[in-house]
Structure formats: C-alpha cells, structure tokens
Amino acid sequence: MKSNKIIILFGAASMVMIITVAISASLFFSMKNKTEESIKFSEKINELSGKESHTASAASALRRENINIEKISKFFFKENEISVFIKKVEALGPQSGTRITIESLEKGFTEKTVPLLNFRIKAIGTFSEVSRLLVLLENFPGEIGWNTLRVVREDLEAGAVSRGGAPIWRAEAYLTILNFVNE
C-alpha cells in the first residue's frame, strides 16, 4: 500500500511538474511573441514620430524663411511695379534739390537671359545738389549698374539760370536695374 501511495504521489507530482513546465513554456513563447510585436510597433512609432518631427521642423524653417523671403523680395522690382519705381526715382529730385527727368526706360535681358531694366535720367541743379542726387541714386535700394555718367557745367550763355550765383550743372546717367523681375 505504501508503494501504491508513493506511485500515486510521484505521478501527481510529475503531473503538476509537467503542467507547470507546459504553462511556463506557453507563457515564455507568448511573452516572446508579444515582445517581438511591441518592438515592431515601437519601431513604427519611432519612424512616424521621426517623420512628424522632420515635417514640423521643415514647416518651422519655412515660416522663419518666409520672413526673409519677404524682406529680400522688397529689393526686386517687378514689371507691374515700374510706375512705383519711377515715382521713387523722381522723388529723389526734390529730396536732392535737383530737377530730374527720366528720358528713356526700356526692358532688356543680359547675355544669360536675366531680365533687366535700363533707364536714362537727366538732372539739373547746383554741383552740391547734383552730387547729393548721385549719392541718393547710389544708395537706392536694389542693384543699380552705372553704365555711363556725365556731369557737365551748363553754359550761362546757353540760357542756364544761376541759383544765387552758383553755376548750374547737368548730370546725365544711363543706369541698369539688375534686380528687375519679369512677371
């Protein structure tokens, strides 16, 4: 009888052990599968968050650069803004004390087909007024190329009226606006 009891206890202990090993093995493999799935899920999340952060940083950079683009584009003259540009140039006359006229205005292209705007101006005033106008033109916003500049003293016998005894000077300039944009 003792022998039967030992066999039954041994059998029961073996069954409990087999069941415990089976449960442990099934838990191990299910945890292994869950871990692999969570790793894949984590990689996808990292990939998406990386793309999202790149998109957010690109959008932020575009917003920052948009301000710079607007600042830079103020220095370009568009085809539909030629009249505004002409008024700005003509406003330099009273600012410098000269009488300024724009004699010609023509659009053109460089050798590399970059658009440009050529114009010829004539200004009359005292030497200091003409010099002030030339300084204002040189500091005018944008990129102005000076093709020719001629400053001559007007002959009083030819009808030039002196201002307070100061001789009258005439400046003729042929200029090119290199920051002109055709639109």
End-to-end CA distance of the chain: 110
Give yes or no: residues 40 and 87 share one domain: no
User: What residues have CB less than 8 Å from 152, skipping those under 6 apart?
Assistant: 169, 170
Distance CA 40, CA 32 (A): 13
Region for 25 from its dihedrals, namely left if φ exceeds 0, alpha if ψ lies in -120 to 50, beta otherwise: alpha
Q: Provide the number of structural domains found in the chain.
A: 2
Give yes or no: residues 125 and 168 share one domain: yes
What are the pLDDT digits (tens) for 159-183? 555 666 678 899 999 988 877 776 6
Give the structural domain span for 89.
77-181
Choose the final residue of a domain: 49, 73, 97: 73
Give yes or no: residues 85 and 42 share one domain: no
Distance CA 11, CA 19 (A): 12
Give yes or no: residues 88 and 107 share one domain: yes
DSSP letter for each residue of 120-147? EEEEEE-HHHHHHHHHHHHTSSS-EEEE
Instruction: Calculate helix-pair angle for 127-138, 82-96, nearest 10 degrees.
Output: 140
Distance CA 6, CA 58 (A): 76
Give yes or no: residues 172 and 86 share one domain: yes
pLDDT at 159: 55
Give yes or no: residues 26 and 97 share one domain: no
What are the pLDDT digits (tens) for 85-101? 888 889 999 999 999 99
What is this structure's pTM?
0.57
